[in-house]
Amino acid sequence: MEEGKSGEKKKVMVAIDESENSHYTLEWTLDKLRETIADSDVIIFTAQPNSDLGYVYASSLGAAPVDLITSIQENHKKVASLLLDKAKDICAKYGIVAETVTEIGDPKYAICEAVEKLNIELLVLGSHNRGPVQRAFLGSVSNYCVQNAKCPVLVVKKPALKEVDVRKRRLHRPMHQVSIILYRHITLEKKRTLGYLWRKTYCRGITNGSTNTLLNSKQWPVHLKTFNDINRANMKVMVVIDESECSYRALMWVLDNLKESIKNLPLVIFAAQPPPNSMDLFNSVQQQNKKVALGIFEKAKRICASKGVTVEAITEAGYPKEVICDAVQKCGVNLLVIGDEANGNIKRALLGSVSSYCVQNAKCQVLLVRNKA
């Protein structure tokens, strides 16, 4: 990332927890955005949970002993320390020296407070891919940060492991590793059908316990790294633009901060036209909407040309949040970038939020660019 006006390095913060999604988020950021964050200060952040003193009080049938409360707090601190040390080791493998920070409190509040306190320029966090019911009852840390963090927010989603994904990686992994993954993702009935021959020939008699050891071996990341090195140079980025200034700020942010990510493939700029209305007998309104979209493209193309970036312009008619997610899949987009105004809670409730919808439904990573308040 470019340096700030004062000459200081910009700060990138990756928020993590003990989940696999967080581990994937950190690896994805270090790999895909390696050049982008090379000249930035990288901060790894994790939140320690508040000690549930009410539970401790009830379980101890009275006032909780001070030693018990202290023990719980020390355990939380120890877990956070181990987690941050592991994250630092991962960063070191990519040649990045990271700073670690931990705070006590609700993760979503602690993250947003750390963003302001540390003057963070880019927040990266993973999504747990909860369904709508879980989000309604449990809330979503990523969704809260998207709406409230005072900086651009990148939400990284771990893709589901599918058999077809494994096939694509066969050339980058030993055959017995690929076979084990396939074996773990087929039904019990098929396992019995394959029987001893499968286990003897391809899995080499490895049990479930030793399979996990093999999958977590030091040899594994080497093959993944080769696969990622190929993909890093071919990451497709799509910026959503409209007539608002915030969308052009998002475009400028990409041109200034993601230069290495967009140098090998054209930058996709997407504009949504309003959904067609059957009452427009002569399609005059639709034609006008198309002209507006073309005008938006011309301005965006001039901005990109001034930075030496080639673009691919795409427009579709329909509800913005739906056509954006459709375009992501059609174009094979890896990173979706959206500019967003800080709308209030009431406005979001009544009108909905395109950015929140895309964070939850787009089949790629989503970067929300919002100016600091």
Question: Cα–Cα distances in Å, from 184 out to 155, 163, 177, 187?
Answer: 29, 10, 11, 8
- So what's the pLDDT on residue 212? 37
pLDDT at 9: 82
Write down the pLDDT at residue 219. 37
Residue 14: closest CA among 96, 77, 71, 82: 96
Which of 342-355 are b and which e, b meaning 16 or more Cβ less than 10 Å from the residue's Cβ? Answer: eeeeeeeeeeebbb
CA angle 68, 72, 74 (to 5 degrees): 115
- Give CA separation, 314 vs 231, 304, 352, in Å: 23, 15, 24
Residue pair 202/175 in contact (Cβ under 8 Å)? The answer is yes
* pLDDT value, residue 230: 39
pLDDT at position 313:
93
Which overall architecture, per CATH, does domain 11-157 show?
Answer: 3-Layer(aba) Sandwich (3.40)
Any idea what DSSP says for residue 318?
S
Rounded Cα–Cα distance for residues 317 and 290 (Å): 9
Contact between 114 and 13 (Cβ < 8 Å): yes
The model carries a pTM of 0.73
d(CA 21, CA 158): 6
pLDDT of residue 112: 96
Q: How far from 16 is each of 38, 102, 128, CA to CA, in Å?
A: 20, 10, 11
- Residues of the chain whose pLDDT is less than 70? 1-7, 51-66, 129-139, 161-234, 277-283, 285, 341-352, 371-373
What is the topology classification, in CATH, of domain 233-369?
Rossmann fold (3.40.50)
Q: How far apart are CA 273 and CA 344, in angstroms?
A: 25
Amino acid at 274: P
pLDDT score, position 153: 95
pLDDT at 355: 83
CATH 3.40.50.620 range(s) for the chain read 11-157, 233-369
What is the CB neighbour count within 10 angstroms for residue 237?
A: 21
- Residue 367 pLDDT: 95
Distance CA 305, CA 310 (A): 7
* Residue carrying structure tokens 């990284």: 156
Return the C-alpha torsion angle 145, 150, 151, 152, nearest 10.
40
